[in-house]
Amino acid sequence: MSVTAEQVTFWIFAVPLVITAGGVVVARNPVYAAMNLVAAFFLLAGIYVLLAAHLIAFMQILVYAGAVMVLFLFVIMLLSLGTEHFEKERHRAIQVIGALGAVFLVAVIASAIADVSGPAAVLSPGFGTVKAVGKVLYTQYLLPFEVTSLLLLVAIVGAVVVAKERI
């Protein structure tokens, strides 16, 4: 069985991705967790490029690694929590049940993955580019697209109202 370039690239991105994702959960310091999450988002963008999702990979870096993570780091530094806030763990029983539940869910997903079959489709030229995705967004998904702008407006107003001390 020959190893293709796609497989090599997949593993180059996938192994550090799982490690950094684990680092988010394991990290004691919230800044370390946030940095692990930034790395995970960048590696995930690489996986998206492998899947020919060029626009989504670009937006992943722009919105997630850029905007959302800056927001997270800003709040972490604004709250300036001491390490004592992070060393308190949940009850051991809850941790074990939570981990078992997650493993069980992955097992259920695994049985569903085993049913997926069939060859991959032949992609049309320009699949996943700004032009192709933009065309779908502005024709077939025009209403959801516009509702998204309303959602973002509500989120902006809601965030200001909730976080402000006095209006």
Partner 1 sequence: MAVQSYLWLAAILFGIGLIGVLTKRNALIVMMSVELMLNAANLTFLAFARQSGNLGAHAIAFFVIAVAAAEAAVGLAIVIAVFRSRGDVNVDEVRALRE
Choice from 12, 75, 77, 146 touching partner 1 (CB under 8 A): 75
Q: Does 61 participate in binding partner 1 (rule CB under 8 A)?
A: no
CA distance 163 to 167: 10
Q: Does 121 participate in binding partner 1 (rule CB under 8 A)?
A: yes
Choice from 4, 125, 143, 167 touching partner 1 (CB under 8 A): 4
CB 121 within 8 A of CB 52: no
Q: Which of residues 22-51 bind partner 1 (CB under 8 A)?
A: 22, 24-25, 27, 30, 33-34, 37, 40-41, 44, 47-48, 51
User: How many other CB atoms are there within 10 angstroms of residue 113's CB atom?
Assistant: 9
Instruction: Give min distance, CB of 57 to partner 1, in A.
Output: 9
Look up residue 107 and give its DSSP letter.
H
Amino acid making up residue 161? V
Q: Does 88 participate in binding partner 1 (rule CB under 8 A)?
A: yes
Q: Which of residues 122-141 bind partner 1 (CB under 8 A)?
A: 122-124, 127-128, 132-133, 136-137, 140-141
Please return the burial class of 127, using the count of CB atoms within 10 Å of its CB with bins 0-12, 13-18 and 19+: middle
